Amino acid sequence: MRHLARRAAVVAAAVAVAVGATLSGCTSTGTGGGSSAKGTLTLGMTADIPGWTPAQPSYQGWPAMAVYDQIFRCDAKGNPQPDMADTFTFSSDNTSFTAHIRTGQKFSDGEAVDAKAVKTYLDWSAVQANSRLKGLKVTTSGDNLTATLPSANPLFKLLMCYQIVPSPKAIAAAEKTKNEVFAKPIGSGPYILDAQATTAGSVYTFTKNDDYWDSKTFPYKKLVVKVLKSDTAAINALKTGQIDGTLLSSATLKEAQSAAGLKVLTLKGPNTTRLLITDHQGKVIPALGNLDVRKAINMVFDRDSMAKDLYQGNATPAYQIFKPGSDAYIPGLKDPYPYDVAKAKALMAQAGYADGFTVPIPVIENGGNIDLLLPYVTQQLALLNIKVQQVPLSGPNMYSDLLGGKYPMPLWQLGNYGASLQDIQDYVLPSGIWNVEHQDDPTVDGIWSKIVAGEDVKKNEQAINQYTIDQAWFVPMVYADNFYGHSSKVRIDGSTDFAGLQPMLWDFK
């Protein structure tokens, strides 16, 4: 769920941003949230946390980052960095790592943080229903720990990023509950939850854990995270000093930019707007199995105009789905399908689809495609006589429906990781969560097997990228920016999130 939450977050964030774009006693040090005295950092969060069950912290997962420490932190490209593990090595074949667990740390229940505690967590994690570490074998020897996968996984390092570790007692307590959930967060992170000052779903309050090994990186004595689901409520709270920072939406960006005492951090292009033509074989809609049709669809979108007009300059044209600077990204790639409606129509005619066809596109309220993209996409596809049939999705089944294969060409704005292997897995491989038709492709399988074997990984990632471009599996449109509004009393130099969606907790100075 956490992974879904992060992905779905991309969705939500995407929409939020892309577009064209007191009683001040709520914090301990008075007006302005107290940041100037490094007393209290008060953050707004546009969605509630998904509970305290440990997993990779979800989108805006500051509460989890506060109470839990992780085996490794990761840099912006998803490379593990020291944390609970102060030294470590990953095997070159992506099957195992050996780490020395930092000594002298304790969980908030007083239990020692050691290799056995980390093993307890990894063993528990490996058998969870949604685990991506299934089959992981962990052994310990003193303060050292070795974890081994049953087979090579090129994403192993990425999967280990932000694996947060709760106390073994918390795991044992959770296992006794019916739903195996963690009612309380017992971790060894830089902060400890103040349960008395916390209202689940509304306000989470934390006090600093002075014994944390990297305490200096977290300068605030107190952390308060408020759930403000309404964009309007969030910007109002920011402007009146009730909070020190929040993600901004298209509706609130300009308001934050013009407000005195506020700064806006631009998170450059963490999302790519795209149509995902996942029915490459034309099993659901035969026309989509035709390369000329897929190329034609690519050619009716004026990416420069989209970035400039539709997104009001808060985006840059995208000719490939991968994040600039990531391994799969092909630098200097020219637009492979320049905007040319006449040529697109000719391609449709050549393919025998001059009269077009109908394509159902799922729509989720506040999802990644509604307000801004869908009208434009509908209009442009109509130029090829392709009729968009909007299908509203809601309720608990909406994401299952969205990704269940009923809709062979979703329109979505998705995040692109600094580690492009993650994107390949999610969007390109047959098993990919967003490759909703899960159709096999021998070329992709062949290149991926080379990546799994560790053969010239970067080159092969780019080969997959080039192949998807040649096959027109996607219709990338723009790299849309994210924005984070914050009080000028809080310093944020940038985001170290490898998804680039938000500042991490340690980015607040």
Partner 1 sequence: MLVALVKKLARAVGVLLIVTFVTFSLMYGNGPGIARAVLGLQATQADVQREVVRLGLDQPLFVQYGRWLGGVLTGDLGTSFFTGQRVSDALATRIPVTLSLVLITLVLTVILSVLLGVTAAVYGGWVDRVVQFLAVLGAAIPSYIIAIVLIFALALTLRIFPATGYTSPDQSFVGWVSSITLPVVALLVGSIAGAASQIRSAVADVLGRDYVRTLRARGVPEREIIFVHVLRNAGGPGLIVLGLQTIYLIGGAVVIELVFALPGMGELTNTSAQQGDVPLVMGVVLVIVLIVLIVNLLSDLAGAALNPKARKA
Q: Whole-angstrom Cα distance, residue 453 to residue 451?
A: 5
Q: What are phi and psi of 59, to 5 degrees?
A: -50, 135
First-residue to last-residue Cα distance in the chain: 30
Q: Whole-angstrom Cα distance, residue 105 to residue 138?
A: 21
Of residues 92, 141, 151, 179, which one binds partner 1 by CB under 8 A?
Answer: 179
Q: Is 453 exposed, middle or buried (0-12, 13-18, 19+ CB in 10 A)?
A: middle
Binding mask 2-31 for partner 1 (x = CB under 8 A): xxxx-x--------------xxxxx-----
Q: What are phi and psi of 431, to 5 degrees?
A: -85, -5
Number of residues that bind partner 1 (CB under 8 A): 52
Of residues 87, 350, 400, 449, which one binds partner 1 by CB under 8 A?
Answer: 400
Nearest residue to 130 (alpha-carbon basis) of 56, 76, 192: 56
Give the per-residue SS3 of 444-487.
HHHHHHHHHCCCCHHHHHHHHHHHHHHCCCEEEEEEEEEEEEEE
Taking residue 456's Cβ as centre, other Cβ atoms within 10 Å add up to 12
Window of 118-126, 140-148, 180-188, 501-509 that interacts with partner 1 by CB under 8 A? 180-188
Cβ nearer to partner 1, comparing 129 with 342: 129
Binders of partner 1 among 262-321, rule CB under 8 A?
none
Of residues 305, 397, 443, 449, which one binds partner 1 by CB under 8 A?
Answer: 397
Of residues 92, 141, 175, 178, which one binds partner 1 by CB under 8 A?
Answer: 178
Residue 395 touches partner 1, criterion: CB under 8 A: yes
Residue 405 touches partner 1, criterion: CB under 8 A: no
262, 488 contact by CB (below 8 A): yes
Cβ nearer to partner 1, comparing 17 with 243: 243
Provide, rounded to whole angstroms, the least separation between the CB of residue 385 and partner 1. Answer: 33
Residue 181 touches partner 1, criterion: CB under 8 A: yes
Provide, rounded to whole angstroms, the least separation between the CB of residue 198 and partner 1. Answer: 9
Tokens linked to 20:
């064209």
Window of 87-95, 128-136, 414-422, 456-464 that interacts with partner 1 by CB under 8 A? 128-136
Residue 242 touches partner 1, criterion: CB under 8 A: yes
Dihedral sign for Cα 355, 360, 361, 363, please. positive
Binding site for partner 1 (CB under 8 A): 1-5, 7, 22-26, 48, 50-53, 129-130, 132, 174, 177-179, 181-183, 199-203, 226-230, 232-234, 236-237, 239-240, 242, 394-397, 399-400, 403, 433
